Amino acid sequence: MRFPLALTVKMARHIVKHKRRRTARFALVLQLEPLHTCNLSCTGCGRIREYSTSLKDMMSLEDCLGAAQECDAPMVSICGGEPLIYPKIEELVAGLLGQGRIVYVCTNAMFMRKKLKDYLAAVYSPGLEPTLTRLRAEKLIADKDAETIRKGKTDGRPVIAPTKWLYWNVHVDGLEYTHDLIVEREGVFKECVEAIRMAKILGFQVATNTTVYKETEVQELEQMFEFFSSLGVDGHTISPGYDYDAAKKDMAKRLGKKSEDFFLTRAMTQQKFARIQEWGKRFTIFGTTVYQEFLAGKRDLTCTAWAIPTRNVRGWKAPCYLMTDGHFQHYQEMLDQVDWNKYGVVEGVARDPRCENCMVHCGYDPSGALGTNYLPGDNWKMVKYNFGRKPAPYHAGRQVEAFNGYSIGKGHLAEANAAINSGLAGAKSAFQTQGGGAAGGSGSRAGQNPPGKKAPAAGSPPDPLPRYQK
């Protein structure tokens, strides 16, 4: 079946339990942000900007675990900031699994291989030598890493180990050129790929998590799915990027860009996602079929942001992951005090102007699962999708030329930085005339190689793909 049975059953039971009790509002997924510190500063990330004055603050382990118990969501997505920077991330994952929850670790992957090596050290026995040999042959660990792993792990702390209840959820916004441009650092895409390959060899479940911006091309998204499917990735979360306050302000202040140059309006989202149902047949796209129809512009949904609450250093963030009108000390307090009828878009009319262009998964994906705006046949569609055959890995995806930027020596960020430094207002055009993407944007490729196609070698051309051939 498309999704693991145990996980589907856990979510379904939770919904049925609350429907029976007629609970008006309840949590399906907790977005837990133990900290907002991050090693990257991606374009479009509102988090590190909105919480810039509290980047050093962290939730205690007890508060994190308490938040999960308080809202009792069966699934917890640990995000941030970069959660692998959280000093007690292993204890947090272990604690949430101990509470019987499904855990997603949403990461930019830069520290993921370190955690995977810790895991290997903790479970090392001579029987693991063939795995170490393979990892070394595929250049996923160095000889000295293998030596360290053989010494074992003696600090007594838990490690993040594979289980059917855990997913690594790796942030990838496109192929190499686009992704590195969005995260504003070269080499990040390459590290994501290596971390994913290593995690799959070690038996972990891995998903990718993609935000689509105005300049993200549909063809590139499909190539990205094909490429990651060929690496054995277990599923993909995809959501439209829209112009919420924190990101919008950063866009204007730091990059001299208008939000409409980068983020999607509702109409643009529907255009970009017009083929999402087709993607759902070819790849394991997470999310409900009803949400997919909504993204493709085929139906309306009402926002149910309370079902994916966000808890961070300041409290329970209301009304949603993106917008902040306040923080509450308790989940129930937030449910009771927020006027939920003030938010979302109903019959084409935005109740709050800030919601106008929002179609993000944290507001609308739960609406599909909860049967909001139910239409006859929805239940059957959901059952068919969830219990349908899992799409087979797309092996031909290995031919996608995913490394179309940094690893072929393109140095696009150097170009972008030079353009930005020459004057914010002219940054975009200056960069684009050099054949690059919009500075800090998602890779407008005016005069550029199409996504997924190799650029003429501007430096040494070590295409890493052949290393992936088995």
CB of 80 to ligand SF4, least distance (A): 5
Residue closer to ligand SF4, measured from CB, 171 or 248: 171
Structure tokens belonging to residue 416: 């972008």
CB of 402 to ligand SF4, least distance (A): 19
Q: Are the C-beta atoms of 394 and 230 separated by less than 8 Å?
A: yes
Q: Which residue is nearest to ligand SF4 (CB)?
A: 363
Closest to 160 (Cα-Cα) out of 208, 89, 96:
89
Closest to 101 (Cα-Cα) out of 60, 122, 141, 72:
72
CB of 364 to ligand SF4, least distance (A): 7
Beta bridge partners of 170: 107, 208
Strand locations in 49-164, DSSP E? 75-78, 102-107
Binding site for ligand SF4 (CB under 6 A): 38, 40-42, 45, 47-48, 80-82, 108, 171, 183, 303, 305, 319-320, 322-323, 343-344, 354-355, 358, 360, 362-363
SS3 for 18? helix
- Alpha-carbon distance of 435 to 446, in angstroms, equals 6
Residue closer to ligand SF4, measured from CB, 58 or 355: 355
Cα 367 to the chain's mean position, in Å?
19
Residue closer to ligand SF4, measured from CB, 93 or 323: 323
CB of 267 to ligand SF4, least distance (A): 16
CB of 456 to ligand SF4, least distance (A): 30
Residue closer to ligand SF4, measured from CB, 158 or 363: 363
Closest to 57 (Cα-Cα) out of 73, 89, 33:
33
Structure tokens belonging to residue 191: 């590290």
Residue closer to ligand SF4, measured from CB, 124 or 291: 291
- Alpha-carbon distance of 246 to 125, in angstroms, equals 48
Residue closer to ligand SF4, measured from CB, 141 or 318: 318
Instruction: List Cβ<8 Å contacts ≥24 apart for 130-139.
Output: 131/201, 131/202, 134/201, 135/198, 135/201, 138/197, 138/201, 138/467, 138/468, 139/194, 139/467
CB of 214 to ligand SF4, least distance (A): 17
CB of 46 to ligand SF4, least distance (A): 8
Residue closer to ligand SF4, measured from CB, 241 or 452: 241
Output the CA torsion sign for 107, 108, 109, 114: negative
Residue closer to ligand SF4, measured from CB, 48 or 427: 48
Residue closer to ligand SF4, measured from CB, 41 or 131: 41
CB of 54 to ligand SF4, least distance (A): 14
CB of 274 to ligand SF4, least distance (A): 21
Structure tokens belonging to residue 39: 């090693």
Q: Are the C-beta atoms of 112 and 136 separated by less than 8 Å?
A: no
Q: Tally helices (H) and strands (E) across the chain.
A: 19, 11
Residue closer to ligand SF4, measured from CB, 57 or 463: 57
Say which amino acid occupies 110.
M
CB of 254 to ligand SF4, least distance (A): 13
Length of the chain: 470
DSSP 226-278: HHHHHTT--EEEEEE----HHHHHHHHHHH---GGGTSPPHHHHHHHTTTHHH
- Alpha-carbon distance of 111 to 80, in angstroms, equals 14
Residue closer to ligand SF4, measured from CB, 82 or 401: 82
CB of 357 to ligand SF4, least distance (A): 9
Closest to 263 (Cα-Cα) out of 140, 405, 359, 166:
359
